[in-house]
Amino acid sequence: MNFRNAEEKIFCAVSCLAAAFAIAILSYIIFTIFTAALPSLSLEFITTAESDFPGVGGAIANAITGTIIISICATLIATPFAIGTAIYLQKYARESLFTKTVRFLIEVLSGTPSIVIGIFGLLILVYYLRDITGGFSLISGSIALSILTMPVIERAAEDAIVAVPKSIEGGSYALGANKWQTIRNITLPTAISGITTGIILGFGRAAEESAVVILTAGYTQFMPEFAIKSTDKLVSGFKVYPLQDLVGTLPYSVYHGYENSNIIPMSDAFAAAFVLIAIVLGINTIVKVILWRYKIEV
């Protein structure tokens, strides 16, 4: 009996300690990143492009803009494919070997390490198609990132569509609506918050990814700007900025802090990291709020 009680106490203590240790480590990380970022963190740091700042590093406005633009582009490319595939699988396809293969392939894609998608993007988009994409560019980066985010959005959209009650769809059919009218007017509006959650999750996934961005988007200190200039390097004869131009992103700014750790002050890297975390956590919070409101409605 004594042994059993002792065992109980020991494992209770072990569990408490493990939880305390985990929480302590995680708060230590957040705290350290914040304190290490403080010396560089200022309004000027966030609002100036690196090109307008003397020397290397020192400002990240170009990277913040770049991260947001590239994530939006990646999401725009991935969303139609993800939602279209989800609607087909859930509403049109019959369970068969074909749908199983489709689901399996999407699962495999979501499990593929980002470095593998990165080298694929580097070889195809940046190297082989450099006359069209402009090599390291916003468009190469967006396409590579969209491969990464497509499975995320697809799965969320499929879950949201499954969750739509069969009874209201049945009601729509009973009123004489055909399949597409039902999907457009009943299924999609009902599933919209679930699908939105998926899209935002995909956006966050694109914003935090570093290996793919480093291998496909490159880096520039300049702010992205819109322009069309003639060039003989591309098949089209002109180059569209910022689409076919290099783009700076936050993960790369953080990586620069490691690569050039002797020139760029440590606090710059941590400040960029802090802003990146703030963006990603902000996105996650939005998702939580949407899910929470959604649950209350249902």
Partner 1 sequence: MMNLRDIRTHIPDDKPGRIFLFIALISISSVILIFTFLFGTASPVLLKEGAGFITGTEWNYHTGEYGILLLLIGSLVLTAVTMAIALPLSLFTAIFLAEWSPRWLAGILRPPIEMLVGIPSVVYGIFGFFILENIFQYYVDPFIDSTLGFIWIFKDVNPSSGISILLAATVLSIMILPTVTALSQEALETVPRDYRHASLALGATKWETIKKIILPAAMPGIITAFILGLMRAIGETMAIVMLMGNCLHFPTSILDTGYAMTSKILNDIGYWVSFDEPKSALFAIGVAIFVMEFIFVALARLIGYRFSIDRRE
Tell me the residue type at 231.
T
Looking only at residues 32 through 61 of this chain, which bind partner 1 when binding is defined by CB under 8 A? 32-33, 36
Helices of type H across the chain = 2-37, 43-47, 61-87, 97-111, 114-121, 130-133, 138-162, 166-174, 179-182, 188-208, 211-216, 250-259, 266-297
Whole-number Å distance between alpha carbons of 122 and 135: 9
User: Segment near partner 1 (CB under 8 A), from 48-56, 86-94, 160-168, 236-244?
Assistant: 86-94
Which position among 61, 125, 188, 273 is part of the footprint of partner 1 (CB under 8 A)?
273
Q: Is 27 among the residues that bind partner 1 (CB under 8 A)? A: yes
User: Segment near partner 1 (CB under 8 A), from 41-49, 88-96, 165-173, 233-241?
Assistant: 88-96
Least gap, CB of 13 to partner 1 (angstroms): 10
Within 8 A by CB and 6+ apart from 144, the residues are 117, 118, 120, 121, 125, 212, 215, 216
Q: Is 133 among the residues that bind partner 1 (CB under 8 A)? A: no
Least gap, CB of 275 to partner 1 (angstroms): 10
Which position among 147, 156, 157, 164 is part of the footprint of partner 1 (CB under 8 A)?
147
Which position among 96, 167, 230, 262 is part of the footprint of partner 1 (CB under 8 A)?
96
Burial of 159 (C-beta count, 10 Å sphere; 0-12/13-18/19+)? middle
Q: Is 214 among the residues that bind partner 1 (CB under 8 A)? A: yes
Indicate the helix (H) or strand (E) that contains 228: strand 227-230
User: Segment near partner 1 (CB under 8 A), from 54-62, 159-167, 168-176, 272-280?
Assistant: 272-280
